[in-house]
Amino acid sequence: MFASAEERERRLAICQACPHRTEMAVTHAAICGRCGCVLAMKASLQRASCPINQW
Ligand code: SF4
């Protein structure tokens, strides 16, 4: 169900450099501007995928 720690970090590094990465107004949690997911959660789920196929 969960991705490995290495895979999670690999994904988050890609998101960190992505122009679609944004933050929630109040909590400043990092979210994907394409799908609206919270990146820390999305990157942790093994079967999740980037909507523009970056990971
Ligand atoms: S999931 Fe994909 S589109 Fe969204 S912020 Fe990460 S790399 Fe960008």
Q: What is the pLDDT of residue 29?
A: 96
> What is the pTM (predicted TM-score) of this model?
0.94
Q: What is the pLDDT of residue 48?
A: 98
DSSP string, the chain: -BPPHHHHHHHHHHHHT-TTEEE-TTT--EEETTT--BHHHHTTBTT---TTS--
CA 15 to ligand 1: nearest atom: 6
Q: What is the pLDDT of residue 50?
A: 98
Domain of 46 in residue numbering reads as 1-55
- Tell whether ligand 1 has an atom less than 6 A from the beta carbon of residue 21: yes
Give the CA distances from residue 50 to residues 8, 20, 35, in Å, rounded to whole numbers and listed in that order.
12, 11, 9
CA 42 to ligand 1: nearest atom: 1
Q: What is the pLDDT of residue 9?
A: 98
Mean pLDDT in runs of 10 for the chain (55 residues)?
A: 98 98 96 97 98 98
Q: What is the pLDDT of residue 13?
A: 98
Total count of domains within the chain: 1
Please provide residue 42's backbone torsions phi and psi, each rounded to the nearest 5 degrees.
-60, -45
CA 7/CA 38 separation, integer angstroms: 16
- Tell whether ligand 1 has an atom less than 6 A from the beta carbon of residue 32: yes
